[in-house]
Structure 1
Amino acid sequence: MTTVSALPQRIEGDVGSMAWWSGQFTRVQDRLEDLRDAVARASTVSGAGESVRAVRDDAERLLTTIDVDIGEAALLAIVLQDYADAHERHAQRANALVEDIEMAEADWMQRSEDAADAAGVALVVAGAGVGLFTDLAQNAATEATQARDLSWQHLSALRSEYERHFTNWDAAYDEALAALAGGASASLTPEARAVFERLLGADDSAEVLALWNAHPELHDELLDARPDLLGNLDGIPYIDRSAANESVLRALYDSDLEEPLRSEVDALYSEVVFNDARLISFDASGSEQATAALWYGEFDAHRISVLVPGMNSNVAGIGEWGVSAGDINGAVPDSATIVWFGYDSPSVLEEPGMHRAEDGAAAFTGFLNGLDELAPSAELNVVAHSYGSTMSALAIGSQPDGLGVDRFITVGSAGLPNDEAILDNLQSSSAPAIFATMADGDVWAPIGQLTAFGHNTSPTQLDGVTVFDSDGGVTSAGDVLIATPGHAAHEGANSLWWDADDAPGGYLLDGSESFYNVQQIIATGAPGTEAGGEGSAPDWSPYYSGGYYPYGSGW
């Protein structure tokens, strides 16, 4: 039987932005060359005396280093422009084919069903022995089969064209990485440089890990030369990545920084130094905001959980997420928890769209693949708040196996992607178990779902989802659990009718029913309290009356 492969992926990239940066680096090169000429003149200035000699000495020292900077600026300008040209020639054409392929696949699937139905009718009519109708049914079956085959040929042609453009783009991408690696690794020995280039050009985290493990004698040299790149390369063991990233962090911490980077670096430094967190990824300048991931616990833990924040989150607020990570590890045996601030979270105006989710999902997919490669036997949980669940679902649902995730827990979800392929994968037999909660007083998550362009699906609408409570309860030991009054993940309420100073905490605050259930799901695979059971509180909304809630129980 003919089968169709997975839908082709869109290739991210902004040609205009790349061309702009290429122009900027060209201008930097020009300015540095002007500076070099001025310094060269200063190195030959006439005169005597200590001050003149000091000027000449300083100029000579600067001349020995400035050519390297000029070379790097020139290299970056050329590589970026060449890659922008290749992206325009191949990636954009590949992306333009994605929608055509989706439509052609839908047409082929429909015509395949039509052909199967027509063949069945022809078989039944032939068995009835009615000559005229037998011929008509057979002709209809033949025509349906021919239409199906033509549809398949059209789909195959589109896919072949896509693969050609994708292959050409992939080659250009590898060439760009190799060129950057060559320029960035001039201080490496030839052996280390060759491995460095292969690491950057590897197709997946499995290939990265195999290369890394094959050359232990080069680890120190590679990490010392490019900690910024290797500290974020999925597939390299986290103990090595954290050492590289923490060296970059310490250098930044000792530098003069402007806001918001100063607050972001301070927050990460505090977690690493005072809370024994390990910095397994860190990019201070490559995104619109600093991105990072912190690991709490032992690297060989059997249960690994990933906490993903939502809208308006940034690294400066990572400390309260670190508290939640420690609380999970304290409640769950043999547990480690990752706080993943690895994407540019959306603003209020951006939240209805999918742009931030799509960019974040690309990074999160690579991260989860790398995590699964490094800890294949561990139980993997993703706990996502608000828009973090939108982004996480897009990544986890990109493959039927959920990228190795065992449990996907959403709290106050802003809505899952509407894409049918994503939703089908999230409900496949090999998908992770999905759990969801929405506090009665949380009005922002329903508004996020209602006003969204592309993520209107409530997790509770999916088959097999386990809904758990967050409105107050009692543990099996008789401990009273507080309710979540609004949309906040931690302190405050983020509610229309609660003052933040007076409100109980959010979904992931220790002592709340929501967070207790999250801990129990990670530890046992099931919530710890009964839905609507003992201690369940009434709706926080002032509009609550006799069980009425304006958004309905489905939210």
Structure 2
Amino acid sequence: MFSIGITRPRRVVGVLTSAVVSTLLGLPAAWLFGPAETPAATAVPHRAQWLAEPLSPPDPTSAAPSTVAGFFARVPAASAEDLADRFPDIVGRLDGAPVRLRYRANRIVSPAHAGRQILLYDRAGDGRIAEVIGNLSTADRIVVLVPGVDSVLANFDTGHGGRLRRAPSWQAHQLYDQIHAQDPSARAAVIPWLGYDPPEGVRRDALREDRAVAGAAALDRFVDGLSTARPEATITVIGHSYGSTVAGLAAAGLNAQVHDLVAIGSPGMGGARTVSDLHSQARVWAGSAPNDWTRRIPGVQVFGVGHGRLPCDRAFGALALPSEDVDGHDGYFLDGSSALRAMAAIVVGGAGDPR
């Protein structure tokens, strides 16, 4: 995720500002404004063998989560478990597959995580992982946390640079605990979702949206998979930093069960100038710490560089998420922060206003 101390925020603001100025002068830099680089697709291991199975399972690269769910609903439980045991790399990441089977498959893929509820695990490249905190099988409130730049499998639990406050899993536990502090009876599940390939550092990829576009498609699909498991649940999507750019680009395609979108420490939500540009029926919230360096990023998008107006800008039209006491770009999930309390209240309160 964008983080003070790891990416020199003043340099980032300077680079983006210079890029905008260069563009206006008609002198765009080729490295910044050149053709988009499509993120490499993650290969699906043993796909040919999977498709050759007598049960005719759906293609993991193209089948909609609803199609996947329909297939497993028709298959005897013993046969489904056999598929999970023989093709754990497929079932463990297959949106729409029963949650219990994904947990089972990922225990095989990563024995080190055997005591945890892993919905996605992929070692390829920088890695991908999604973990459920809480009981997804009974949850009527689900939160999906989308992290940003420099989040990888290796620091999912420890945080970039070894700072715990930057760790997606730690942030999810913080929010889960705050939800239950406000409502001990809440049936909630919080999912830190590292299901895309964030940019490495604040370089070209972080200033553009190629990675976010790919991440948005994956996020839409993941949320569709959640809806097959919990069709009555209310879903909240929270994007931190570049993760909010992913959420903004995903917004129009997100399942109708998503009632709230929250952007914290956001550099922009996918080029949107106002909430209406997101084309979503969800409520949109934005919070930014007084000293969050992303406040100094120009709220523009020129030739694919930049992410649009900052959602904390009043002109964007988002509901204000309390953040006045938050310290820095990575302080939103710290104990006692107004932002943490407000995010939990959004989840617990549903239609209520946590402000």
Structure-2-length-normalised TM-score: 0.74
Corresponding position: 1:437 with 2:287: yes
Q: Residue type of the partner of 1:284?
A: R
Determine which structure has greater relative contact order: mean sequence separation of CA pairs < 8 Å that are 6+ residues apart, divided by chain length: 2
Matches of 1:201 and 1:438, distance apart in 2: 37
- Shift in alpha-carbon separation, 1:336–1:462, aligned structure 2, 3 A: farther
Partner residue, 2:81: 220
Q: Residue type of the partner of 1:348?
A: V
In the TM superposition, what is the alpha-carbon distance from 1:221 to its structure 2 partner?
Answer: 1.8
CA RMSD in angstroms comes to: 3.1
In the TM superposition, what is the alpha-carbon distance from 1:386 to its structure 2 partner?
Answer: 0.5
Map 1:109-508; keep pairs closer than 5 Å.
Answer: 181-182=47-48, 184-185=49-50, 193-200=53-60, 203-216=63-76, 217-250=78-111, 253=112, 269=113, 273=115, 277-285=116-124, 288-299=125-136, 300-319=138-157, 320-332=167-179, 333-346=186-199, 347-349=201-203, 350-398=205-253, 403-418=256-271, 424=276, 426-427=278-279, 431-447=281-297, 449=299, 453-460=305-312, 465-471=318-324, 483-488=325-330, 506-508=331-333
- Shift in alpha-carbon separation, 1:313–1:511, aligned structure 2, 3 A: same
Matches of 1:13 and 1:352, distance apart in 2: 13
In the TM superposition, what is the alpha-carbon distance from 1:388 to its structure 2 partner?
Answer: 0.2
1:512 counterpart (337, 352, 355): 337
- Shift in alpha-carbon separation, 1:291–1:201, aligned structure 2, 3 A: closer
Matches of 2:247 and 2:337, distance apart in 1: 23
Query: Cα deviation per residue 1:97-139 (whole Å; 9 max; x = unaligned)?
Result: xxxxxxxxxxxxxxxxxxxxxxxxxxxxxxxxxxxxxxxxxxx
Q: Residue type of the partner of 1:194?
A: P
Q: Residue type of the partner of 1:218?
A: S
- Shift in alpha-carbon separation, 1:194–1:446, aligned structure 2, 3 A: farther
Corresponding position: 1:524 with 2:342: no
Partner residue, 1:47: none
- Shift in alpha-carbon separation, 1:446–1:527, aligned structure 2, 3 A: farther
- Shift in alpha-carbon separation, 1:515–1:14, aligned structure 2, 3 A: closer
Kept in 1: contact 2:287–2:321 (CA 8 A): yes
In the TM superposition, what is the alpha-carbon distance from 1:329 to its structure 2 partner?
Answer: 2.7
Q: Residue type of the partner of 2:127?
A: A
In the TM superposition, what is the alpha-carbon distance from 1:449 to its structure 2 partner?
Answer: 4.2
Matches of 1:517 and 1:468, distance apart in 2: 7
Matches of 1:376 and 1:303, distance apart in 2: 11
Map 1:94-105; keep pairs closer than 5 Å.
Answer: none
Percent identity, please: 28
Kept in 1: contact 2:93–2:120 (CA 8 A): yes
Query: Cα deviation per residue 1:487-525 (whole Å; 9 max; x = unaligned)?
Result: 11xxxxxxxxxxxxxxxxx01112111111111121114
Kept in 1: contact 2:251–2:279 (CA 8 A): no
> SS at the partner of 1:292?
strand
The structure number with the bigger radius of gyration is 1
Q: Residue type of the partner of 1:441?
A: N
Query: Cα deviation per residue 1:365-406 (whole Å; 9 max; x = unaligned)?
Result: 11011112221100100111101000111112236xx55311
In the TM superposition, what is the alpha-carbon distance from 1:211 to its structure 2 partner?
Answer: 0.6
Kept in 2: contact 1:324–1:510 (CA 8 A): no
In the TM superposition, what is the alpha-carbon distance from 1:296 to its structure 2 partner?
Answer: 0.7
> SS at the partner of 2:144?
strand
Kept in 1: contact 2:233–2:257 (CA 8 A): no
Q: Residue type of the partner of 2:118?
A: L
> SS at the partner of 1:459?
coil
Q: Residue type of the partner of 1:238?
A: V
- Shift in alpha-carbon separation, 1:213–1:448, aligned structure 2, 3 A: farther
Map 1:45-124; keep pairs closer than 5 Å.
Answer: none
Matches of 1:446 and 1:13, distance apart in 2: 27
Matches of 1:330 and 1:363, distance apart in 2: 27
- Shift in alpha-carbon separation, 1:451–1:303, aligned structure 2, 3 A: same
- Shift in alpha-carbon separation, 1:202–1:344, aligned structure 2, 3 A: closer
In the TM superposition, what is the alpha-carbon distance from 1:457 to its structure 2 partner?
Answer: 2.2
Partner residue, 1:74: none
- Shift in alpha-carbon separation, 1:289–1:445, aligned structure 2, 3 A: farther
Query: Cα deviation per residue 1:186-226 (whole Å; 9 max; x = unaligned)?
Result: 9xxx8xx1335435376311111011110124112211211
Query: Cα deviation per residue 1:405-438 (whole Å; 9 max; x = unaligned)?
Result: 1111111111011268x9646355xx11111111
> SS at the partner of 1:406?
strand
Q: Residue type of the partner of 1:312?
A: D
Matches of 2:222 and 2:147, distance apart in 1: 15
> SS at the partner of 1:195?
coil
Kept in 1: contact 2:240–2:265 (CA 8 A): yes
Kept in 1: contact 2:238–2:263 (CA 8 A): yes
> SS at the partner of 2:58?
helix
Kept in 1: contact 2:309–2:316 (CA 8 A): no
Structure-1-length-normalised TM-score: 0.49
Query: Cα deviation per residue 1:211-242 (whole Å; 9 max; x = unaligned)?
Result: 11101241122112110011111100111101
Instruction: List runs of 5+ in structure 1 lacking aligned partners.
Output: 1-11, 19-79, 81-176, 254-268, 472-482, 489-505, 530-555
Q: Report the structure, 1 or 2, having the larger helix content.
A: 1
> SS at the partner of 2:143?
strand
Partner residue, 1:500: none
> SS at the partner of 1:194?
coil
Q: Residue type of the partner of 2:169?
A: G
In the TM superposition, what is the alpha-carbon distance from 1:468 to its structure 2 partner?
Answer: 2.2
